[in-house]
Amino acid sequence: MTHKEKADQLLHQQYHCSQALFGAFADDFGLDLKTAFRISTCFGGGMRQGGTCGCITASLLVLGMAFGFYDSQDRELEVYGNKKTEDFIRRFSEKMEGAVCCRDILGKDISKPEEMAQIRKDGLILKKCPRASNASIEILEEMLTEYLKNAAESSIDLDDIPENEMQRVFKGIRKLNRFRRNVNNLLYSSDKEIGFIQFDIRKFKIINDLYGEKFGNEVLEFTLHELESICNEKQFFINLRSDVFMVVTEYKTEAELVDFIQNLDRKIGSFKNVKLQMVYGVYTVEDRGMELRQMEDRAAMARKAAKNIVLSNILFYREQFKESLYNRKFIEENLQAAIAGRQFMMYLQPKYSIAKNEIIGAEALVRWRHPERGMIYPDQFIPVIEENGFIQKVDYYIWEEACRFIRKCKDAGIVPCPVSVNMSRIHLRDNECVGVLSDLIQAYAIPKRLLELEITETADDQQISRKALQLKEEGFTLLMDDFGSGYSSLNVLLETPFDVIKLDRKFIENMMISKKGRLILEQGVSMADKLRLGLLAEGVETREQIELLQSIGCDQVQGYYYARPMPEEEFFELLKEQRRTPEAMPED
- Do 280 and 197 meet the contact criterion of CB atoms below 8 Å apart? yes
Q: In the structure, what pLDDT confidence band is assigned to residue 162 with cuts at 50, 70 and 90? A: very low
- Do 471 and 452 meet the contact criterion of CB atoms below 8 Å apart? no
- What is residue 535's three-state secondary structure? strand
pLDDT surpassing 80 at residue 97: yes
Question: Residues 440-468: pLDDT tens digits?
Answer: 999 999 999 999 999 875 544 566 677 78
pLDDT surpassing 70 at residue 377: yes
Chain centroid to CA 480: how far? 21
Integer Cα distance of 414 and 544 in angstroms: 33
Determine the pLDDT at residue 77.
57
Determine the pLDDT at residue 164.
43
Integer Cα distance of 172 and 64 in angstroms: 15
Three-state secondary structure string covering 17-83: HHHHHHHHCHHHHCCCHHHHHHHHHHCCHHHHCCCECHHHHHHHHHHHHHHCCCCCCCHHHHHHHHH
Q: In the structure, what pLDDT confidence band is assigned to residue 580 with cuts at 50, 70 and 90? A: low
Question: Residues 168-187: pLDDT tens digits?
Answer: 666 777 788 788 889 989 99
Determine the pLDDT at residue 494.
62
Its pTM surpasses 0.85: no
pLDDT surpassing 90 at residue 399: yes
Integer Cα distance of 528 and 489 in angstroms: 12
User: Largest alpha-carbon pair distance within the chain?
Assistant: 93
Of the listed ranges 326-330, 428-432, 473-477, 540-544, the least confidently predicted one is 428-432
CATH class of 327-578: alpha beta
Domain ranges of the chain: 3-161, 190-317, 327-578
For the beta carbon of residue 68, count every other beta carbon within 10 angstroms.
18
Question: Residues 115-158: pLDDT tens digits?
Answer: 788 878 888 778 888 888 899 999 988 888 777 665 544 333 33
Mean pLDDT of the region 319-344 = 83
In 145-184, which positions are buried (b, 16+ CB within 10 angstroms) versus exposed (e)?
A: bebbbebbbbbbebbeeeeeebeebbebbbebbebbebbe
Mean pLDDT of the region 377-391 = 84
Determine the pLDDT at residue 572.
95
Q: How buried is 103 (Cβ within 10 angstroms: 0-12 exposed, 13-18 middle, 19+ buried)?
A: middle
Integer Cα distance of 440 and 5 in angstroms: 32
- Do 107 and 124 meet the contact criterion of CB atoms below 8 Å apart? yes
pLDDT surpassing 60 at residue 483: yes
Integer Cα distance of 279 and 268 in angstroms: 12
Say what angle helices 17-24 and 124-152 make with each other, to 10 degrees: 40
Integer Cα distance of 50 and 99 in angstroms: 12
User: Across the strands, what pairs with 216?
Assistant: none
Question: Residues 1-41: pLDDT tens digits?
Answer: 788 888 888 888 888 888 888 888 888 777 778 888 877 77
CATH of domain 190-317: 3.30.70.270
In 427-450, which positions are buried (b, 16+ CB within 10 angstroms) versus exposed (e)?
A: bbebeebbebbeebbeebebbbeb
Question: Residues 68-82: pLDDT tens digits?
Answer: 665 544 555 566 667
**What is the chain's mean pLDDT, rounded?**
82
Describe the strand order of the beta sheet including 244-251 as a list of residue ranges: 235-241, 244-251, 193-201, 278-284, 314-316
